[in-house]
Amino acid sequence: MFLKLYDDAQKESIELLLTALKAENLSFELIETAEYKLIHLPKINRDYDVQRFINDASVEKVIPIFSNMPQQKPLKANDPSKRFTSKIMDIMPLYIAGPCSVESEAQMHAIAKIIKASKAQVLRGGAFKPRTSPYSFQGLKESGLKILADTAKLHKLLSISEIVSENDIDLFIKHGIDIIQVGARNMQNFSLLKALGKIDKPILLKRGFVNTVEEWLMSAEYLLHHGNPNVILCERGIRTFEPSTRTTLDIGGALVAKSKTHLPVIFDPSHAAGDFRLVENLSLAGFAAGLDGFMVEVHQNPIKALSDGAQSLKPERYLTLMKKIKEHY
Ligand code: PEP
Ligand code: MN
């Protein structure tokens, strides 16, 4: 990292800056030539708030180059010796399917039959829905969790549902939800991540739609750092300038995440596309890219769905898609 000093920076103010750096135990070198004055700080890494030096009277520019440092990587998310403690983490490719929201017992039983027949392993269903509008369906809450868990068990499927508050962790455990989903909107809810780090249930961590891959990995790192090694990453589309899809499925970003960690990386074509007509080909693209599985929304009667009907596949389309995936990948 370099600090470029003003050409006319006063000797006294440079001295003050050097004294401050010494007081912080930072190693540095002052480089003065006829053309420029620089301070080189070789040991500063990317965690350090380097931009604050701009407040110093003699600093014209902060040049955050870390060329002689290895690129900072998540502490544990790239450690292959970090063992998963849940067997669920070994089920790859992972096929997760089901409605956006749990709506009723009858709905879940009917859809669970389809999901089981498709040979997917996990039944999804939201009970705590993080809706953009407070007037939209908010989910059946605890009774939704119970319906999902009971239905999944009955059909010998695993269950997954989204959590929105650490206050609900006990409910998810009480009802035996197998995988806890952290949604895009909560990817950087650090108090939730810390709390989920203290349990050992697998966590599906969706990428926030305005977050970089690095931020996503750092959120995974919170879970690992606080003690939960069982983390599955899920790319679900990011917001770009393109309005013709709900978001842009960032397969490249998912591949970068995969190259940087030992964690499985799956994708969600439904929330990315926002349109059921795109879901099949996006799914094939994700599997062709070598991702570790997917999560897809399926509903018996999408037109009547209480949330995300537009992107939900009808059972027949879903079954055809699963057949294709199993044939080709
Ligand atoms: C969901 O899976 O139901 C959901 C709300 O997804 P996301 O957090 O990706 O928007
Ligand atoms: Mn949804």
Look up tokens 């993080």; give the residue: 130
Choose among 267, 274, 281, 289: nearest CA to 94. Answer: 267
pLDDT single digits (tens) 151-196: 999 999 999 999 999 999 999 999 999 999 999 999 999 999 999 9
Q: Judge contact between 59 and 85, C-beta under 8 A.
A: no
Question: Is 98 touching ligand 1 by the criterion CB < 6 Å?
Answer: no
Q: Judge contact between 77 and 261, C-beta under 8 A.
A: yes
Q: State CA 324 to chain mean position distance.
A: 27
Alpha-carbon span 101 to 306, nearest angstrom: 7
Question: Is 100 touching ligand 1 by the criterion CB < 6 Å?
Answer: yes
CA of 151 to the centre of ligand 1 (A): 21
Give the nearest ligand 1 atom to 126 CA: 3
CA of 236 to the centre of ligand 2 (A): 11
Question: Is 236 touching ligand 1 by the criterion CB < 6 Å?
Answer: yes
Residue 140 token pair: 């059946």
With pLDDT > 90 as the criterion, what percentage of the chain qualifies?
Answer: 88
Give the nearest ligand 1 atom to 184 CA: 8
CA of 183 to the centre of ligand 1 (A): 5
Give the model's pLDDT for residue 83.
Answer: 82
With pLDDT > 70 as the criterion, what percentage of the chain qualifies?
Answer: 95
pLDDT single digits (tens) 209-232: 999 999 999 999 999 999 999 999
Question: Is 246 touching ligand 1 by the criterion CB < 6 Å?
Answer: no
Q: How many helices (H) and strands (E) would you count in the chain? A: 10, 12
Pocket test for ligand 1, best of 148, 160, 181, 282 (most atoms within 8 A of CB): 181
Give the nearest ligand 1 atom to 268 CA: 9
Number of alpha carbons in the 13 Å side-chain half-sphere of residue 29: 6
pLDDT band at residue 278 under the 50/70/90 scheme? very high
Q: Is 137 exposed, middle or buried (0-12, 13-18, 19+ CB in 10 A)?
A: middle
What ligand is nearest to the CA atom of residue 183?
Answer: 1
Q: State CA 90 to chain mean position distance.
A: 19
Name the residue type at position 208.
Answer: G
CA of 198 to the centre of ligand 1 (A): 23
> β-pairing, 265-267 with 2-5?
unpaired
Alpha-carbon span 93 to 167, nearest angstrom: 31
pLDDT single digits (tens) 93-142: 999 999 999 999 999 999 999 999 999 999 999 999 999 999 999 999 99
Residue 85 token pair: 């403690």
Q: Whose CA is nearest to atom 3 of ligand 1?
A: 100
Give the nearest ligand 1 atom to 295 CA: 2
Question: Is 206 touching ligand 1 by the criterion CB < 6 Å?
Answer: yes
Q: What is the pTM of this model?
A: 0.85
Sheet of 29-32: strands edge to edge? Answer: 29-32, 37-40, 2-5, 59-63
Alpha-carbon span 183 to 187, nearest angstrom: 6
CA of 214 to the centre of ligand 2 (A): 24
CA of 48 to the centre of ligand 2 (A): 38
Q: Whose CA is nearest to atom 4 of ligand 1?
A: 183
Distances (CA, A) of 301 to 111, 278, 305: 10, 18, 6
Name the residue type at position 140.
Answer: L
CA of 271 to the centre of ligand 1 (A): 6
